[in-house]
Amino acid sequence: MKLETFSSLGLGTSRSASLGNRISKKEAEELFNVARNNKVQVIDTADTYGSGDAERMIRNAISGNREHFFLVTKAGFPHMHLPEILSPMNQIGKKLYQKLGCKKNFSEQYLLKSARKSLKRLHINSLDAFLLHEPNFGELKKFEDFHKGLTKIKEEGLARSIGISTNDIEALNLALQHEVVDLVQTTLPYGNSMTETVFDICKKRNIPVIVNQVLRVLPVLKKNAQFKAALKELEVNENQTIPILISFALQYKKADCVLIGSKNPIHVRDNATLIENPERLKGIHELIETIFS
């Protein structure tokens, strides 16, 4: 699937294979079948999600349907990767590494090795996108050859697109200087702040943006009297606030894709259906922007 044609709704897998929250093989197959049937094509994961188990889950769930999905993975966080039969121990090891203060790694060789391991876990020949996983400027500056790793990953066909997942403008600008940014993942800015964000820079440069954590403002909105009144006027219940926020990101902010992290196939189906009428929500989109200005 081409970068220019991926879906406006994506499925995040950070919790689907995590310790204590993992879904079964049957549940994963149902989740991804519903995603495919509702044109949710972007699948976002990382080698550290479930310490590789999220990628294995995706491999099993999309077997025979690879061409329907745009697969994005990320690398850079410390983690442990034991053989698959011992994979539950990986997550314990990852937490131990974190407590010991193990740092992120964005070196050329580490990135190449990570991309190859991700392909092996996913049982595919090429990723649709490979991203640096949430580096700040200091972390990225430490590895002066990071851009060589990303470039080789693309040149060798390990990934069709490369880029960065970050909220750090300086980290983004460093990656842009080396011309290794086809795609960016970041959070959505709310309100008309004078401070430029990663999202703003990408939109100015026409770089496709996948938005994550779109629901982080949900608690604030649910307590806002104006927002509650607007929901009532639209005859929309509070359970539909999530698709309103997704629609806000896509239609008002012009994000290219919004990730939802649900493990529930019904939620995925309902969100895909409810974002299809943006004009009806124009007034409430403007209200959301005003609330956070």
Distance (Å, rounded) from C-alpha 32 to C-alpha 225?
A: 37
Q: Average of pLDDT values for 240-262?
A: 92
Superfamily holding 3-214+255-275: NADP-dependent oxidoreductase domain (3.20.20.100)
- Phi, psi of 111, rounded to the nearest 5 degrees: -65, -45
Q: What is the pLDDT of residues 66-114, one digit of tens each?
A: 999 999 999 998 765 655 555 555 555 555 555 555 689 999 999 999 9
Q: Identify the CA nearest to 45 among candidates 135, 138, 137, 115.
A: 115
Average pLDDT, the chain: 88
Distance (Å, rounded) from C-alpha 198 to C-alpha 211?
A: 11
State pTM to two decimals. Answer: 0.90
Is residue 210 predicted with pLDDT exceeding 70? Answer: yes
Distance (Å, rounded) from C-alpha 27 to C-alpha 39?
A: 18
Domain chopping of the chain, boundaries: 3-214+255-275
